[in-house]
Structure 1
């Protein structure tokens, strides 16, 4: 059944999320510090049975220069600058196996699949630790370091994601003007954050994005992972205001306001993990050209492979526009 506002009400919904006055300065300082600590990028060829795609094991510098793992997949024999798609991963997952996630490279693009620090083993393999210490937290990462914006977990993840974009743009095989980002669920939320922090992306496709509209999400659904925040605040009753003050710096709503790249969203009417109103909270204030697929009879799986098929067409059109504009 539908779990949230009816479809006709969604276009008019507005989130109650606040816009912290030092939001931009906070993120500028975070990224400046991380860039200042960046080291060399390691790119190691992977011996695989694939004949049409070359796979590389990459380690790059993320938040505060900490090492982040990723898979780089390139169409075999490619020798000209290509468009690139950077993909971020859903909650609990890692970058997975070298032979997984071959769609973007099979379509002729460079594919960069960033590991998510401190995750993996939930449903796919992760290889990147999160070395930062944290205070008491609910199981999972949603309340890790929630005491302050400086220590909150997603500060590190979002900085990693921006550094992933910058790393990809430094590869000779990549056309730096034609880089897009894709993600599903948590990966969609990370994509939205990047869209608000990197001003010149070619396109972004956040599918059923998580990490949007915390004020509503934490009370409208009893499903995890948002429930982690509710469980934490049910115990730490005196931290409701301070926790939401921190979360405002990491909400897709506030990143969406600052974004300008063409965007293709998706949402599902039966999604109890990321209720559609929370996604529309970000979509309705998104700063660039945008469109959304609303799946009537689906849950958190969204459009599944159709989301990816639509994103592929969307990215191809965006890359062609950029190429034509610079020709």
Structure 2
């Protein structure tokens, strides 16, 4: 890895001009209204694990169009009283895996809801939620960036972002949770979903931790990196050049630079200057567009790991302060 994007001093000034879809607000308002109309009560079933310090529940809730979405809920076993809750979203290609893979936030004293990723969970961690949309299936290996990409109405990320907002709404209604102290967190794709949830469920989210987020300034990303997942869009447009304009118009509806001006919760971002998967200029574009109070951690020598354990510690400190 090498430094390939803008120098750090330029990144702090990087505020690209973007063209927000004129119907962006109505698109998401109608999408979420439909999902809420199709919603059914969440079901949480206690799971017997070997974890003695954690109580685990297998959660099913309804996301986009009433589709069933899976999640894990980990609670500190000895906790009493309403707990602050962390909703976590997962990186590209991964699923919810097993409960013991998600112990950080419950160990820190939070209720922790980990949302499975529809259709994913066959690359590096298993998943249990199919994607029954018009172009969907699952679990499957990546290719999600181009699933239904010719129309915002059929695009995969319309469904996944809706799931993320619904996960926040479900988490706020869990018994034993303090809904006024709800945070969203994630890395890469999960970081992008955390920003989306903070933007589209703004009244519910009290804090955000977004590590090297994906889905930020997508139009720039596809021109400066050869790395997947953005390169999936490049390959599609190379084969279908006559459809490239439609592709770019669709991804505008799920681009964080267009959504985060709606967000208001305090947010902690990270960017890595050698990150070829989520280039730093794209992360900074979303950071500068974010409307709420915000902080940025920069890792000069990191690639997509984006701060590793250092950022995990910083995230815990940030939430301890934001949700105190």
Normalization by structure 1: what TM-score? 0.95
Deviation string, structure 1 residues 8-29 (Cα, Å, up to 9, x no partner): 1001112343211111111010
Give the distance between the partners of 1:47 and 1:16, measured in 2 at CA.
52
Structure-2 change in CA distance of 1:139 and 1:40 (3 Å):
closer
Normalization by structure 2: what TM-score? 0.96
Mapping for residues 168-207 of structure 1, pairs under 5 Å = 168-200=171-203, 201-207=205-211
Correspondence for 2:285 among 269, 281, 284? 281
Give the distance between the partners of 1:46 and 1:305, measured in 2 at CA.
29
2:99 aligned counterpart, secondary structure: coil
Instruction: Give the stretch that moved more between structures: 74-83 or 64-73.
Output: 74-83
Q: How far did residue 260 of structure 1 move?
A: 0.7
Give the distance between the partners of 1:15 and 1:139, measured in 2 at CA.
29
Give the distance between the partners of 2:193 and 2:55, measured in 1 at CA.
26
Give the distance between the partners of 2:234 and 2:52, measured in 1 at CA.
48
8 Å Cα contact 1:189/1:211 also seen in 2 = yes
Structure 1 position 32 matched with structure 2 position 33: yes
Which is bigger in relative contact order (C-alpha 8 A, separation at least 6)? 1
8 Å Cα contact 2:123/2:142 also seen in 1 = no
Instruction: Give unmatched runs, 5+ long, in structure 1.
Output: 321-327
Equivalent residue number for residue 151 of structure 1: 154
Instruction: Give unmatched runs, 5+ long, in structure 2.
Output: none
Structure 1 position 304 matched with structure 2 position 305: no
> RMSD over aligned Cα, in angstroms?
1.2
Equivalent residue number for residue 208 of structure 1: 212
Mapping for residues 65-144 of structure 1, pairs under 5 Å = 65-134=66-135, 140-144=143-147
8 Å Cα contact 2:260/2:289 also seen in 1 = yes
Aligned length: 318
Deviation string, structure 1 residues 153-195 (Cα, Å, up to 9, x no partner): 0000000001001101111211011100000000001111111
